[in-house]
Chain A
């Protein structure tokens, strides 16, 4: 029997600390998208409430499960992105088992690369490559936008800490854009 291949992080677990600002690849999360069947909004909302003790996220926002392990990001009025603890294998089977037959679930973990940007100059670095007013974004807020022409989910985890998700196929280009902007402000 051949040896099994082991998945590596898209950026090899890259980290960089420039003092006032730092970036690190996020490698310990799983991502599952949850789409709402036509007319099934209430059933899905009830299932999410029962399973995770939270509501579906409002536009521009997130919602966090009562035990803090799951974060739901608003993506469209009929879809949410669930950020879960990293697991070996597929997270979608756990989500489907937990919520039941009330949504359409798709494994997204391998589609996205995660970067965590932090530090006093994180907004200065990110606002140079992003059309949003990040300073006015509330903690717990999330948006989908572009950075250097690459599509990005951005979530403000704390005053000086942001989670960024972008397409894994352009992970190195995305890191390059973020890192260069960080170097330009330090």
Chain B
């Protein structure tokens, strides 16, 4: 599988480590009401879609960046690759 890294171009999947569902970026606010339930869902509950899936991939043998890779679990086609830092910053993180 080839992942088209936004900065570095097409790279072999062997350079990466896959971390699973990209929803891990959305860590709940520990001070919010219902935080325990939110953290339970965050830590343990995952969708298992047949089709489009957003995943975190770590470029361990490369520039050490985290990527959000949107791919199909049915065909392995990769639809989109983003820098995870850009995704997180767009959500207002890093303030």
Contacts and interface: CB of A to CB of B under 8 A. Distances in A.
Interface string B45-78: 0000000000000000111110000000000000
A35 B5 CA distance: 21
Interface in A141-174: 143-146, 151
Nearest to A133: B10
Interface residues of B, number: 12
Interface string A40-59: 00000000000000000001
A151 B16 CA distance: 12
B8 interface: yes
A76 B8 CA distance: 10
Given A144-B62, A146-B14, A77 B7 contact: yes
Contact of A77 (B11, B12, B65): B65
A151 B63 contact: no
A76 B15 contact: no
Interface in B1-43: 7-9, 11-12, 14-15
Contacts, number: 32
Nearest to A76: B63
Interface residues of A, number: 12
A145 B7 contact: no
Contacts of B63: 59, 74-77, 144
8 contacts: A59-B8, A60-B7, A60-B8, A60-B9, A75-B63, A76-B63, A144-B62, A146-B15
Given A75-B63, A131-B14, A146-B15, 10 more contacts: A59-B7, A74-B63, A75-B64, A77-B7, A77-B63, A131-B12, A143-B62, A144-B62, A144-B63, A145-B62
